[in-house]
Amino acid sequence: MDAVATAARAIKCNEADLVIAGGVESMSRAPFVIGKSDSAYSRSMKMEDTTLGWRFINACLKAKYGVDSMPETGENVAEEFRISRRDQDLFALRSQQRAAEAIRNGRLKQEIMAVPFHKRRATRSSSRKMNIPGRIRRWKRFRN
């Protein structure tokens, strides 16, 4: 979140026109953390599991909305609407095929742009396409 806030500040202060911000989950907290005490000066400690899903559950929020994680929500929706795993996979494949076709025929030309970058060990610059719908790109990590 700090990266996004810093990026927004840089743009607002005219220090940058375009910023790509990102981050990672801090693994120093996983899989267990000690929760906050329930009252001031309390010595009670409760271990919270942070492996998957909500970390510190608000009882009122849980009662009103539930606290299912994204995978649990997906399973619940599939069960409620009787969507088979095969149908889910076919939908995902069709989505990827449609995105690829839209890219090939130029329909997404304005949504996709080349982003220049410099390799650490090379002097010439390259570019890769970004913002391809429905895809997760794994970027090659450049080492020193």
Continuous segment of H or E residues that includes residue 75: helix 70-80
pLDDT digits (tens, 9 = 90+) for 22-77: 776 655 556 777 777 778 888 887 777 776 667 677 889 889 988 888 788 888 98
Region 128-144: mean pLDDT is: 41
How high is the pLDDT of residue 114? 81
How high is the pLDDT of residue 100? 93
pLDDT digits (tens, 9 = 90+) for 75-120: 898 999 999 989 988 999 999 999 999 999 999 888 888 887 777 6
How high is the pLDDT of residue 73? 84
What is the Cα Rg of the chain in Å?
22
Distances (CA, A) of 98 to 80, 95, 130: 27, 5, 17
Distant-in-sequence contacts of 28-31, Cβ < 8 A, 24+ apart: none
Strands 114-118 and 125-129: antiparallel
Neighbours of 112 (CB within 10 A): 14
- CA dist., res. 113 & res. 139, Å (int): 16
Delimit the domains of the chain by residue range.
84-133
How high is the pLDDT of residue 10? 92
- pTM comes to 0.40
Average pLDDT over the chain reads 77
Q: Is the pLDDT of residue 135 over 80?
A: no
Contact 53, 71 (CB under 8 A): no
How high is the pLDDT of residue 102? 93
pLDDT band at 3 (very low <50, low <70, confident <90, very high): confident
